[in-house]
Amino acid sequence: MERKYHYTKVESMSIQSSPLAAGQAAPNFSLQDAKGETVSLSDYSGQKVIVYFYPKAATPGCTTEACDFRDNLNSLQAAGYSVLGISPEAPEELAAFANDESLNFPLLSDPGNEVATAYGSYGEKTIGGKTIVGTLRSTAVINEDGSIQQIEYSVDATGHVARLRDSLGI
């Protein structure tokens, strides 16, 4: 399958969505999952949710992060957290990624980056010396009341879930 990248080359303008902060209401969303079914944040009303944004499935950093969530899902769930991964890829690409890596939590498709933008997880980044616009690796922890407990931007994929568990006391 040919990979399609959802990045825009930047010439001279600055594109960055506004970051969110702890205590703010988490923006609601409804997106298709890897099976083509609609999943909404409101489906998790009254529950704690970890929503993480990643730029591209099946790339080294995104695979490391997704597998880290997979390997720690039992302890996160035991502490009352659900996990949702969001990227700009189509549901079919997410399904292949989930299957290849035996992922055990929902992956959601945000092809227009509207949800990433609402969460401050879309903007400029530099890869290989080139400035592009795309999804920024970030994680939001959402409380049962729908407010943001904590949010982290510019996440390093390696060791991210261990740092997150530590900050959550898990």
Q: What is the mean pLDDT of each successive set of 10 residues along the chain, which is 170 residues long?
A: 38 60 96 96 97 91 94 97 97 97 97 94 86 91 97 92 95
Give the residue numbers marked as catalytic.
Answer: 62
Cβ atoms of 23 and 147 within 8 Å: the answer is yes
pLDDT of residue 160: 93
How long a stretch of residues is the chain?
Answer: 170
Q: What share of the chain is helix, strand, coil (3-state, %, to 5)?
A: 30, 30, 40
Place of tokens 């902060």: 21
**What does the alpha-carbon distance between residue 6 and residue 26 come to, in Å, rounded to a whole number?**
24
**What does the alpha-carbon distance between residue 47 and residue 27 come to, in Å, rounded to a whole number?**
15
pLDDT of residue 11: 38
Q: What is the DSSP letter of 22?
A: T
Q: Which ranges of 84-143 would DSSP assign to H, the alpha helix?
A: 91-101, 114-118
Rg for the chain, CA atoms, rounded: 15
State whether the Cα torsion 102-49-27-60 is positive or negative.
Answer: negative
Q: Which CATH number fits domain 8-168: 3.40.50.10260, 3.40.30.10, 2.60.40.10, 3.40.50.150?
A: 3.40.30.10
pLDDT of residue 16: 59
Domain chopping of the chain, boundaries: 8-168
Element (H, E) at 82: strand 81-87
Can you tell me whether residue 110 is helix, strand or coil? coil
**Global confidence as pTM:** 0.88
